[in-house]
Structure 1
Amino acid sequence: MVTLTNESPGAATPFAPPAEGELVVYRGLTLFDGTGGAQRPGVSIVVDGPVIRSVGDDADTAAAVAEGAEVVGLDGLFVTPGLVDAHQHLATPPDRPVAEAVLRRLVHSGVTAVRDMADDLRQVGDLARAARVGEIAAPDIHYAALMAGPGFFDDPRTHQVTRGAVPGHVPWMQAVTDTTDLPLAVAMARGTSARAIKIYADLDAPLVAAITAEAHRQGIPVWAHAAVFPATPGEVVAAGVDTVSHVTLLAHEAAEGPLTSYRDKPPVAHESLVTGEDARLDALFARMRGQGVVLDATAGMWASDALAGDDPESGERARRQTELAVALTAQAHRAGVELATGTDYETPPGEPFPALYEELAFLVKRCGIPVRDVLRSATLVGARSAGTADLTGTVEPGRQADFAVFGRDPLADIDHLRTITLTVKRGRRFPREAYAAPSPRETR
């Protein structure tokens, strides 16, 4: 092989994971490890490059120190696994500086992974690569390629994410009918390096089931909208999907008319559903629990400033949707459904902390879910939703060194997330004090 003397070394990777053999001992911390055990004080985490070597008492670190490990004192501080935002959109429309600013804020806020729920994957794929190799400060990005019925592709967002091509006819966003060659369609989606197929809208139950079966045959999960129209929530779950998004869409299991299309949603039995005791939803949640379907609730989305609206009609809609989200999310939790913590919006660029903090607070304060359960949702269940629970989501030996350090105990008060002092992602440290607010070019 000929080596070219002018070969470029490539872009700089200032945020690359450390190499195997670079040992760091984090000592003196109080640990919530995400496995379900009790919080433990006086813990040390020994990290070897990008991986956790051991987790134990402070007294058990002598061997690592003898090997020349760097020692980082975390006395009086609190550690959780890295947080996961299970519902992000980083490139609708594509704007690289804005996306990088969002990602930089996330990783400096304890977020070590996000699920991107279908965008322009030409850009998202490169953001994921840049995050993985350390060109940019960012969580790991796990993303989906979208499939929907042809009627969906006059949505303006589909044009934003396929500029230069034809909406519905690109590998990352495909229009599907009962004549589609599904093995080829799924293979094309996998060719984008997508981690999952997202099933979105305007597909009937047999087609949702067929896409899901083919995706699973090819070894790729399916992340679906909770109602696909005309496929009902019950039909989506029966198809065997791995996650469903948007708890308020589950209300269409109790719709007052047939489901037809994404744009023509029938009314739902609001007064019955906001009691949180609807038998139709109980049956659906029981099936979700039995099949291990994760619910990406996006529960606080309608309570956000992003969706509050600027007129009385939209404000009332947001209020009713919020009321519905509170009731159904609490009902799902009582039924034992695994909840992931997605957002589907972001706080304004000038805000110091991401929307994920608002979602976690909403689950605790409005839905009444215990903080311990919410933190488990934001860590281990988030990793499950992204298909990475074998690698991350808990602080254990052999897992990726993904964890967050807080000045005050988030189990005592979910608002203590705002005392974040350090994020460790794949062993690389991101001190909160190093966070730089976005420049004017990085804001919309």
Structure 2
Amino acid sequence: MNLRQITLTILLLVLTSTTASAQFSFGNYALQNVNIIDVNSNDVLYDYTIIINNDKISDILPSKTYIANDTVQSIILKGKFVVPGLIDAHVHFATDPTEERRDNAEKVLKEMLLTGITSVRDMAGDARALSNLSRDALVGDIVAPNIYYSSLMAGSKFFSDPRTIATAQGGVSGKMPYMKAIDDNSNFVLDVAEAKGTGASGIKMYAYLSNNEVVKIVEEAKRQNIAVWSHAALQIAKPSEIISSGVISISHSELLIYEKFPKKEDVPTNWKGANAVNMTAEFWEEEYDKLGLDKIFELMKQYDVVLDATLSVYEPDKNLENSHWRYEMEKRITRDANKAGVKVAAGSDSNQVTFVQYEMKLLVNEAGFTPFEALVSATKNSAQATGIIKNQGTIEVGKKANLLFLNSNPVENIENIDDICLIIKNGKIYNKK
């Protein structure tokens, strides 16, 4: 080990010993002797070296072939495991920026980054606030993951929802560039252009949209080169119609039941009410089998649509309306979608009470995923769902240097995702004791 390596090793030890988070940055450096969790090959590559140049990965090679030199700083991380920086595919940071204060948003975003989350997808909020947060996170003015946010489109009926009124403060709900009421007479060229002009990375379709309106939104969005994300059912358009329209992801796996039950009132009465809690696992398995979702899963594979499952939302202890049947269906749909080969993303959608790591654990413990599959969900699949797979989500030459280093192997136990050594976002090193 040369003097420079010794100095940097000591520096990392100093960072590790501090009680506060710390950031350390230099332009060109090597991370030596690491074990790479390769989410492309589903394999662990032992004793590799990753070269970082500014904010990108410039080389990956076996450590035995790497020759250290004085032009590249070296950090020895022998025995550590590295995964792509985690991506939470479903967050909400600015539903009501007056209540969800900027200082609190910054606090939570910092905590997210220091747990290894390097990017998030915000699935509808006040784009005026999100644009500023996204800019500051990108340039490093705040300690936060990269933020990719949406503009929302829905039928006019949806915009009496109190959340939309809070999000549109200072304007009119349904008439904001980032929150637009849609009908067959809408100016789709202008509406999509205004949505894109907010700086959004995608358009989110939420509720009360017909198949015709869905098709028009997606076609125009493709012409203007902006991704479209959607709820899995839109209370008019069915899941199969949404999936085949050209969206890149759909959210909330339990909504796929509406392929069989077109209206909410069609949901079986014995799924609902207090008695539902007492139903056995066998009952729920039989009821789930009646849905016959195999064709939906095949359609998702055909159109390469990612399922943003959000198991965290309807956990029974949250006591949300009809949460029990939703959770029972949610975990079974997510389980079988994964088994069928559908790409499943990991999104928390929990108002940041829990982060994506908790969703990963639910995927393993409730939906039968292996730890490796959960890692793929929170990295590669979440990147595809967000539309950033070209530069994030995997550890490859040319991609952003967004990496999470762990002291223990997460493939052996998903709980090891919390055993953090250090985090790299956009080439900058962060550390938290």
* TM-score interval, smaller chain: 0.7 to 0.9
Q: Deviations over 1:70-101 (max 9, x none)?
A: 22121121110111100000111112112111
Q: For 2:307, which of 283, 295, 309 is the aligned residue?
A: 295
In the TM superposition, what are the counterparts of 1:341-420 in structure 2 within 5 Å?
A: 341-346=346-351, 348=353, 354-420=354-420
> 1:245 is matched with which residue?
251
1:339 aligns with 2:344: yes
| Equivalent pair of 1:17/1:427 in contact (CA under 8 Å) | no
Query: 1:40: which partner in 2?
Result: 45
Counterpart residue type for residue 107 of structure 1: L
Alpha-carbon distance in structure 1 between the residues aligned to 2:165 and 2:25: 40
Which stretches of structure 1, 4 residues or longer, exceed 4 Å deviation after superposition? 14-19, 268-276
Distance in 2, matches of 1:274 and 1:299, equals 20
User: What stretches of structure 1 of length at least 5 have no aligned partner?
Assistant: 1-13, 349-353, 434-444
Distance of 1:86 and 1:149 partners within structure 2: 24
1:280 counterpart letter in structure 2: G
In the alignment, is residue 79 of structure 1 matched against residue 82 of structure 2?
yes
The Cα of 1:355 is off from its aligned counterpart by: 2.2
Change in Cα spacing, 1:16 to 1:164, as seen in structure 2 (3 Å) is farther
Match of 1:183 in 2: 189
Structure 2, unaligned stretches of length 5 or more? 1-20, 272-282
Cα offset, 1:322, TM superposition: 1.5
Contact 1:405 1:422 in 2 (8 A): yes
Counterpart mapping for 1:224-303 below 5 A: 224-255=230-261, 258-259=262-263, 266-267=266-267, 276-278=288-290, 280-303=292-315
Q: Which amino acid aligns with 2:267?
A: P
Identify the match of residue 202 of structure 1 among 189, 202, 208: 208
Counterpart in 2 of 1:213? Answer: 219
1:56-71 aligned within 5 A: 56-62=61-67, 65-71=68-74
- Structure 1: how far apart are the matches of 2:366 and 2:143? 32
C-alpha offsets along residues 97-133 of structure 1, whole Å, 9 cap, x if unaligned?
1211121111111111111001000000110000000
2:379, 2:393 within 8 Å by CA — same for their partners in 1?
yes
Secondary structure at the aligned position of 1:280 is classed as coil
CA offset digits 1:269-291 (Å, max 9, x no partner): 96677665446311111001111
Question: CA offset at residue 308 of structure 1?
Answer: 3.3
Secondary structure of 1:39's partner? strand
1-structure distance, mates of 2:82, 2:325:
37
Measure the CA separation in 1 of the matches of 2:126 and 2:164.
9
Q: What amino acid sits opposite 1:392 in the alignment?
A: Q
User: Structure 2 counterpart of 1:208, which letter?
Assistant: V
After TM superposition, the score normalised by the length of structure 1 is 0.85
Match of 2:80, as an amino acid? Answer: L
Shift of 1:24: 1.2
Give the distance between the partners of 2:47 and 2:175, measured in 1 at CA: 56
Given residue 331 of structure 1, which amino acid in structure 2 is its aligned partner?
A: D
In structure 2, do the counterparts of structure 1 residues 339 and 211 end up closer, same or farther at CA, with 3 Å as the change threshold? same
Secondary structure of 2:256's counterpart equals: helix
Letter in 2 for 1:333: N
Which has the higher mean CA deviation after the structures are superposed, 33-42 or 138-147? 33-42
Structure 2 distance, partners of 1:27, 1:409, is: 17
Q: Secondary structure at the match of 1:244?
A: strand
Which residue identity is paired with 1:177?
A: D
| Bigger shift: residues 218-227 or 266-275 | 266-275
Per the alignment, do residues 117 and 147 of structure 1 end up closer, same or farther by CA in structure 2, a change over 3 Å counting? same
* 3-state DSSP of counterpart to 1:45: strand
User: Structure 2 vs 1, CA of residues 402 and 274 (structure 1 numbering), >3 Å: closer, same or farther?
Assistant: farther
Question: Is the 1:245–1:297 contact (alpha carbons within 8 Å) kept by the matching residues of 2?
Answer: yes
Change (3 A) 1:268 1:97: farther
Q: CA deviation at 1:376?
A: 0.9
SS at match of 1:300: helix
Asked if the contact 1:53/1:398 (under 8 Å) is kept, the reply is yes
Query: How far apart are residue 238 of structure 1 and its match?
Result: 2.3
Partner in structure 2 of residue 107 of structure 1:
113
**Partner AA of 1:364 in structure 2:** V
Contact 1:84 1:378 in 2 (8 A): yes
Q: Is the 8 A contact 2:424 2:430 kept in 1?
A: yes
Q: 1:92 aligns with which of 91, 95, 99?
A: 95
Note closer, same or farther for the CA distance 1:376–1:59 as it changes in structure 2 (3 Å cut). same
